[in-house]
Amino acid sequence: MIIAANLKTNLTRKETKQYIQELDTYVKNNAISQEVLVFPAMSSLDENDSSVIVGAQNAYPTKDGAFTGEIGTVHLDEFGINTILIGHSERRHILGETQELLIKKFNYYKDLGFKIVYCIGEPLSKREAGESEMMEYISTQYEGIDTNYENLIVAYEPLWAIGTGITPTLEDIESIHKELKKKSPAPLLYGGSVKVTNAKDVLAIDNVDGILVGSAALYAEHFCSMIGFAEELS
């Protein structure tokens, strides 16, 4: 399974280093065979020789150049990073990234062979509008994306579940993951208010190949417990 932590705008470089060390110790001491990914804040990227894969939460589709506030592959290469998160709802909705830009990023990083965690998910209004409207909305987020890309991981994260403490029911997750699996053979993660208290149940659902965790992953101990659940279930 794939257990991923999105640290968002949290943890300094020093804190991130300690965090990754804690995960690394847990993974090694417990002979964990799951894939553990961590997406630190941009300025917390650093050298990494741990058992954990470190990825970027964002990068511009460029090597370098004049893109104020963005980073390019020279900055990722410095730390041997070849994993990236694309399409997270906070970048789509708070930073205003369009599907067009996401396609550009996707293709750029795909051509470089990056492991891409591509996020999709509907707002509450689409969920409430019923199954077909919701699926239609989600389908637009697959537009222009090579769903057969070998290094693709898809993360389904309903917007209304992110950071809210509210999650879909286990039955709802099961039914939407079943539908989404028809769209892409890539591993499919669930994200949105995954916590120590529900992670095991979520991981046990059919067609859930892992989890993408935000707030609850900020505590290394909690995140390690989730890694442990995945190991038990595998």
- Determine whether 222 is an active site residue: no
Q: Which residue among 35, 90, 122, 157 is the active-site one?
A: 157
Residues 122, 129, 195, 14, Cα dihedral to 10°: 30
Q: Of 43, 59, 48, which is closest to residue 17 (Cα–Cα)?
A: 48
- Determine whether 75 is an active site residue: no
Q: How far apart are CA 146 and CA 148, in angstroms?
A: 5
Q: Which residue has the tokens 């690394």?
A: 24
83-86: strand order across its sheet:
53-54, 35-39, 2-6, 210-213, 188-191, 152-156, 115-120, 83-86
Binding characters for ligand PGA, 1-40, by CB under 6 A (x = yes) = -----x----------------------------------
Single out the segment in contact with ligand PGA by CB under 6 A; choices: 26-34, 71-79, 202-210, 213-221.
213-221
Q: Closest separation between CB of residue 12 and ligand PGA, Å?
A: 19
Question: Of the two residues 45 and 159, which places its CB atom closer to ligand PGA in the complex?
Answer: 159
Single out the segment in contact with ligand PGA by CB under 6 A; choices: 13-21, 66-74, 146-154, 190-198.
190-198
Question: Of the two residues 61 and 192, which places its CB atom closer to ligand PGA in the complex?
Answer: 192
Rounded to whole angstroms, what are the CA distances from 228 to 34, 35, 158, 174, 212?
Answer: 9, 12, 25, 22, 15
Which residue type does 58 have? N
Rounded to whole angstroms, what are the CA distances from 95 to 29, 42, 48, 98, 211?
Answer: 39, 15, 28, 9, 23
Q: Closest separation between CB of residue 130 and ligand PGA, Å?
A: 24
Binding characters for ligand PGA, 149-188, by CB under 6 A (x = yes) = --------x----xx-------------------------
Q: Which residues are catalytic?
A: 88, 157
- The contact set with ligand PGA (CB under 6 A) reads 6, 157, 162-163, 191-194, 212-216
